[in-house]
Structure 1
Amino acid sequence: MKQLSGIDATFLYMETPETPMHVAGLTLYEKPPGLTGSFYDHFRTFFATRLHLIPIFSKKLARTVFDLDHPGWVDASNVDLDYHIKHTNLPKPGSFAQLEAMVGDLHSVTLDRSRPLWQFTVIEGFEDGRVALYSKVHHAAVDGGAGMVITKALYDVSATPREVEPPPEPGPKKPKPDTAERALANLGALMTNAVRQHFTVLAAGAQMMTTVAGLLVPTAADKEKPEAGGAPVLPNLLPPKTPFNVTISGQRSYAARSLSLTDAKLIGKATGTKINDVVMAICAGALRQYLIDKKALPATPLLAFVPISLREAGNTDINNQVSGMSCSLATDIADPLERLMSIQKTATTSKSIAGVTKDATPKDFTMLGAPFLLPGMMQLFGKSGLADIIPMGANVVISNTPGPPFPLYCAGAKVLALYPVSIPTHGIALNLTVQSYLDKLDFGLTADRRAVPDIVRLAEHLGDALDELKAAVAKRFGVFAAPAASAEVATEPKEMAMAKTTAKTKKAGNAKDAAKPKAAAKPAAAKPAAAMKSKAAAPAKAPAPAKAKAPAAAKAKAPAAAKAKAPAAAKAKAPAAAKSKAPAAAKAKAPAAAKSKAPAKAPAAAKAKAPAAAKSKAPAAKAPAAKAPAKAKAPAAAKSKAPAAKAKAPAKAKAAVAMKAAAPAKAKAAAPPK
Structure 2
Amino acid sequence: MKPLTGLDGLFLHLETEATPMHVAALHVFEPPPAASADFHAAVRRMMGERIDLAPMLRRKLAALPWQFANPVWVEDEDFDLDLHVRSVLLPCPGTRAQLEDCIGELHARPLDRERPLWMLYVIHGLEDGQAAFYMKIHHAMLDGAAGVALTHALFDTEAEPAPRALPRPRRREAAPGVFALMSAALTRDADQYMKLARHLPDVVRVLTGLMGRTGGDAPQGEGALRRNFAFGPKTPLSITIDSERRIALVDFPLDAVKRIASEHGTKLNDVVLALCSGALRRYFAHHGGIPDKPLIAAMPISLREAGNTEFSTQVTMNLVSLATDIAHPLRRLHAIRDAATASKALTRHAKSVLPTDAPSIGVPWLLGGLASLYGLAGVADRVPPIANLIISNVPGPAQPLYACGARMTEYWPLSIVEHGLGVNITVMSYAGTLGFGIVSAHSAMPDPDALADGLRESFAELVLCDAPAARPKRTRSHAATQAAAEGDETRPRRSATPVAKARGDTPAAAVPRRSRSKAG
> What residue in structure 1 maps to residue 187 of structure 2?
192
In structure 1, C-alpha distance between the alignment counterparts of 2:222 and 2:58, rounded to whole Å: 53
Deviations 1:76-108 (A, max 9, x none): 113222210110111111100100011000001
In structure 2, C-alpha distance between the alignment counterparts of 1:35 and 1:433, rounded to whole Å: 34
In structure 1, C-alpha distance between the alignment counterparts of 2:315 and 2:175, rounded to whole Å: 34
Q: Which structure 1 segments of 5+ residues have no match?
A: 479-489, 491-674
> What residue in structure 2 maps to residue 400 of structure 1?
393
> What residue in structure 2 maps to residue 296 of structure 1?
289
Question: What is the Cα deviation at residue 57 of structure 1?
Answer: 0.7
**Matching of residue 124 in structure 1 with residue 124 in structure 2:** yes
Question: What is the Cα deviation at residue 188 of structure 1?
Answer: 2.8
> What residue in structure 2 maps to residue 83 of structure 1?
83
> What residue in structure 1 maps to residue 458 of structure 2?
465
Q: Is the 8 A contact 1:156 1:162 kept in 2?
A: no
SS at match of 1:49: helix
Q: Is the 8 A contact 1:400 1:434 kept in 2?
A: yes
| Cα 1:203/1:241, change in 2 over 3 Å | farther
> What residue in structure 1 maps to residue 315 of structure 2?
322
Alignment of 1:598-637 (within 5 A): none
Question: What is the Cα deviation at residue 391 of structure 1?
Answer: 2.5
Q: Is the 8 A contact 1:223 1:230 kept in 2?
A: no
Is the helix fraction higher in 1 or 2? 1
Q: Is the 8 A contact 2:254 2:433 kept in 1?
A: yes
Question: What is the Cα deviation at residue 186 of structure 1?
Answer: 3.4
| Cα 1:338/1:175, change in 2 over 3 Å | closer
Counterpart residue identity of residue 47, structure 2: F
Alignment of 1:582-661 (within 5 A): none
Question: What is the Cα deviation at residue 219 of structure 1?
Answer: 12
Alignment of 1:413-452 (within 5 A): 413-452=406-445
In structure 1, C-alpha distance between the alignment counterparts of 2:203 and 2:470, rounded to whole Å: 43
**Structure 1 moving runs of 4+ over 6 Å:** none
Query: Which of 271, 279, 282 is residue 286 of structure 1 equivalent to?
Result: 279
| Cα 1:208/1:132, change in 2 over 3 Å | same
Question: What is the Cα deviation at residue 340 of structure 1?
Answer: 0.3
Q: Is the 8 A contact 2:123 2:133 kept in 1?
A: yes
**Matching of residue 28 in structure 1 with residue 28 in structure 2:** yes
Alignment of 1:354-373 (within 5 A): 354-373=347-366
> What residue in structure 1 maps to residue 210 of structure 2?
215
SS at match of 1:444: strand
SS at match of 2:129: coil
Counterpart residue identity of residue 316, structure 2: S
SS at match of 2:353: coil
Deviations 1:317-347 (A, max 9, x none): 1000010110000000000000000000011
SS at match of 2:467: helix
Question: What is the Cα deviation at residue 237 of structure 1?
Answer: 2.4
Matched positions, count: 471
> What residue in structure 2 maps to residue 574 of structure 1?
none
> What residue in structure 1 maps to residue 112 of structure 2?
112
In structure 1, C-alpha distance between the alignment counterparts of 2:160 and 2:173, rounded to whole Å: 39
Q: Which structure 2 segments of 5+ residues have no match?
A: 472-496, 498-520
| Cα 1:176/1:147, change in 2 over 3 Å | closer
Structure 2 length-normalised TM: 0.86
Deviations 1:432-480 (A, max 9, x none): 00000122110000010121111111111111001111112223578xx
SS at match of 1:350: helix
Counterpart residue identity of residue 105, structure 1: E
Query: Which of 234, 258, 271 is residue 264 of structure 2 equivalent to?
Result: 271
Question: What is the Cα deviation at residue 410 of structure 1?
Answer: 1.2
Alignment of 1:471-620 (within 5 A): 471-476=464-469
In structure 2, C-alpha distance between the alignment counterparts of 1:210 and 1:305, rounded to whole Å: 25
In structure 2, C-alpha distance between the alignment counterparts of 1:439 and 1:190, rounded to whole Å: 45
| Cα 1:191/1:467, change in 2 over 3 Å | same
**Matching of residue 375 in structure 1 with residue 368 in structure 2:** yes
In structure 2, C-alpha distance between the alignment counterparts of 1:360 and 1:5, rounded to whole Å: 16
**Matching of residue 95 in structure 1 with residue 95 in structure 2:** yes
Q: Is the 8 A contact 1:278 1:340 kept in 2?
A: yes
Deviations 1:456-511 (A, max 9, x none): 11111111001111112223578xxxxxxxxxxx9xxxxxxxxxxxxxxxxxxxxx
> What residue in structure 1 maps to residue 145 of structure 2?
145
**Matching of residue 234 in structure 1 with residue 234 in structure 2:** no
Counterpart residue identity of residue 452, structure 1: M
Higher-Rg member (1/2): 1
In structure 2, C-alpha distance between the alignment counterparts of 1:223 and 1:237, rounded to whole Å: 23
Question: What is the Cα deviation at residue 218 of structure 1?
Answer: 7.5
In structure 1, C-alpha distance between the alignment counterparts of 2:273 and 2:26, rounded to whole Å: 22
Instruction: Give RMSD over aligned pairs.
Output: 2.2
> What residue in structure 2 maps to residue 652 of structure 1?
none
In structure 1, C-alpha distance between the alignment counterparts of 2:410 and 2:241, rounded to whole Å: 29
SS at match of 2:463: helix
SS at match of 1:368: coil
Percent of pairs with identical residues: 40
Alignment of 1:169-184 (within 5 A): 169-171=169-171, 173-178=172-177, 182-183=178-179
In structure 2, C-alpha distance between the alignment counterparts of 1:41 and 1:464, rounded to whole Å: 41
| Cα 1:73/1:224, change in 2 over 3 Å | closer
Higher relative contact order (CA 8 A, sep 6+): 2
Q: Is the 8 A contact 2:375 2:419 kept in 1?
A: yes
Structure 1 length-normalised TM: 0.67
SS at match of 2:361: coil
> What residue in structure 2 maps to residue 513 of structure 1?
none
> What residue in structure 2 maps to residue 49 of structure 1?
49
Counterpart residue identity of residue 11, structure 1: F
SS at match of 1:122: strand
Query: Which of 250, 259, 284 is residue 252 of structure 2 equivalent to?
Result: 259
Deviations 1:586-605 (A, max 9, x none): xxxxxxxxxxxxxxxxxxxx
| Cα 1:48/1:340, change in 2 over 3 Å | same
